[in-house]
């Protein structure tokens, strides 16, 4: 019965999310697959409006429930200003994706706190703060529907003109117009197959419509074709401009443009600063910059 209760609770959460119609596809997929490890508070507080979008990690200590012996995050302190663009870099397993997950409160730290605008996420309803976060995943979900509806999913009340504006800002307009039926073309399953870079641009257009003060972006690791590479780069810059942005960065062009780069290793912040300052310091970042980042055409 406990399991049935959990399933019902999870379903009602998804249903609530659908009804609010505020979430992007990714949110639903995450909700459907996420372990139910956290609970909304009995007496929730509310974020002051308008939400500024500052983020704080205070002495965050975290291990995944299934792996208690490994600290995924080990004493993380981060103070991110509203509007700041942060690039998270580091070797595989360093904790980059874990930080992105903690901001959405898919897990709670074993000690320390994660805060939005100074408020502990554990004191807020998840639906209340998640609507202020837009997520652009590495491999966005594309529905078997028209390109137009796929973008509109970012904000179901958006007009056709707003959908097209968002597509322009996301550098998706031209490639969509070039499809046989333009914005009315079927994409996704049994429709036009989109490249990785095109899918990311659809996800960016959704995020633009969502218009949240906080943006979480997981850059594609795989090389994109040159045109997509440049277009995605421009679209991300546009989207990040007026928002607090956390990017799991794999591109040299991205880290160069970030206000601050956070270098992670074994769940710890081992260095931070701008690209030039970190390269000058040598060490792990300089090695990563030489070996790991994809150059891409936008990198010059």
Give contact residues for ligand ATP (rule: CB under 6 A). 64, 66-67, 70, 72, 90, 92-98
Give the HSE-up count for residue 24: Cα atoms under 13 Å, Cβ half-sphere: 28
Residue whose pair of structure tokens reads 């993380």 in the numeric block: 76
Q: How far is the CB of 47 from ligand ATP (least distance, A)?
A: 26
User: For the residues of 181-195, what is the DSSP string, one character each?
Assistant: TGGGSEESTTSBPPP
Nearer to ligand ATP, 165 or 266 (CB): 266
Q: Dihedrals φ, ψ of 175, to 5°?
A: -70, -30
Q: How far is the CB of 71 from ligand ATP (least distance, A)?
A: 8
Nearer to ligand ATP, 47 or 133 (CB): 133
Q: How far is the CB of 77 from ligand ATP (least distance, A)?
A: 17
- Sheet with 85-89, edge to edge strand ranges: 133-136, 214-218, 244-248, 85-89, 260-265, 268-273
CB 38 within 8 A of CB 126: yes
Nearer to ligand ATP, 72 or 202 (CB): 72
Residue whose pair of structure tokens reads 């079927």 in the numeric block: 186
Q: How far is the CB of 214 from ligand ATP (least distance, A)?
A: 19
Nearer to ligand ATP, 94 or 203 (CB): 94
CB 56 within 8 A of CB 115: yes
Nearer to ligand ATP, 109 or 213 (CB): 109
Q: What is the sign of the dihedral through the CA atoms of 112, 114, 118 and 122? A: negative
How many other C-beta atoms are found inside a 10 Å radius of the C-beta of residue 167? 26
Q: Using alpha carbons, list the distances in angstroms from residue 92 to 15, 22, 63, 79, 264.
A: 35, 32, 16, 23, 10
Q: How far is the CB of 87 from ligand ATP (least distance, A)?
A: 13
Q: How far is the CB of 76 from ligand ATP (least distance, A)?
A: 11
Nearer to ligand ATP, 90 or 213 (CB): 90
Q: How far is the CB of 160 from ligand ATP (least distance, A)?
A: 37
Nearer to ligand ATP, 33 or 49 (CB): 33
Please give the Cα distance from 281 to 219 (Å, whole number). 25
């Amino acid at each position: 019965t406990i399991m049935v209760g959990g399933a019902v609770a999870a379903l009602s959460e998804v249903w609530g999310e659908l009804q609010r119609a505020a979430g992007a596809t990714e949110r639903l997929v995450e909700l459907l697959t996420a372990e139910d490890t956290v609970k909304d508070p009995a007496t929730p507080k509310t974020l002051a409006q308008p939400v500024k979008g500052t983020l704080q990690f205070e002495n965050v200590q975290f291990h995944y429930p299934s792996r208690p012996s490994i600290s995924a995050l080990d004493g993380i302190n981060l103070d991110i200003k509203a509007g700041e663009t942060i690039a998270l870099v580091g070797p595989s397993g360093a904790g980059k994706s874990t930080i992105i997950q903690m901001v959405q409160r898919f897990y709670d730290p074993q000690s320390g706190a994660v805060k939005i605008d100074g408020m502990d996420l554990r004191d807020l309803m998840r639906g209340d703060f998640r609507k202020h976060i837009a997520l652009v995943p590495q491999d966005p979900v594309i529905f078997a529907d028209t390109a137009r509806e796929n973008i509109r999913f970012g904000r179901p009340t958006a007009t056709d003109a707003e959908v097209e504006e968002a597509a322009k800002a996301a550098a998706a307009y031209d490639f969509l117009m070039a499809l046989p039926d333009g914005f009315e073309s079927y994409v996704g399953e049994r429709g036009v197959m989109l490249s990785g870079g095109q899918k990311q641009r659809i996800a960016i257009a959704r995020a633009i419509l969502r218009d949240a003060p906080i943006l979480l972006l997981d850059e594609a690791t795989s090389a994109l074709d040159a045109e997509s590479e440049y277009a995605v780069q421009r679209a991300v810059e546009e989207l990040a401009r007026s928002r607090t942005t956390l990017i799991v960065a794999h591109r040299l062009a991205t880290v160069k443009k970030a206000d601050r780069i956070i270098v992670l290793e074994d769940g710890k912040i081992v260095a931070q600063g701008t690209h030039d300052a970190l390269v000058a310091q040598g060490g792990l970042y300089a090695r990563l910059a030489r070996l790991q980042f994809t150059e891409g055409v936008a990198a010059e």
